[in-house]
Structure 1
């Protein structure tokens, strides 16, 4: 076998390995995601919520791999969402005292935010707020990918 053929085969195998790795990062959260709450469960939480807002795809740092769209509801004890989030690993829900739509603004204001919960489903969720969190101290909900430091989406609820 010639050197040229060995190099070509090695390069093609490395590229397939890298592609497989990135597909795995994208697919694993989808494959291991728990069942999302039912529409009825989300509706009950949403009806009890004090604030309602929308995640929109058009935010500055949202892109084809990092986005959210749908309705988010914020109550005194829970936050609920019905819509779609781009699948990904290690999503966290934050409450922020200021609306942000860029990674730079998120990083700048992260010290003033509170991380509320993990987000493990991508078409709806219900998360419980810690008992010491007052939603009146904040005005926005943010979904952030902690592992890769990526802004996903945000909504200003008041």
Structure 2
């Protein structure tokens, strides 16, 4: 028998105001996307903004559906849109923010498992890390230098 230890390290900022200017601007675009989320069932609004290598910013917000599995998270809306609009252009940074209409969200909200897998696909394809910055509505902001920090044993095409 053998044990494997996997650790994750995050950089923590006290608030969005403490972020580097370019990341704060990206996070503000994620906030704008969050405000346009369609979340009548969960009342949990998420926005994502991606900075691409060509300088373009692509946004996404969660889009719910009465048939729950038919909805899509903000991160996947943004990443799939980037892949469709700018194929082959690397994603440098992703900013994510979440808020609830039912209670304050003051803790950083990371991508769900399905979104982590989708982000992983793009990170593996482009062979460079994607910075992932995430927060709640207010409060601390976490930085993960790579998706591999959030999903260290990512499933990739090499297994197929």
Q: What TM-score does the superposition give when structure 2 sets the normalisation length? A: 0.28
Identify, as 1 or 2, the structure richer in strand: 1
* Higher radius of gyration, 1 or 2: 1
Higher relative contact order (CA 8 A, sep 6+): 1
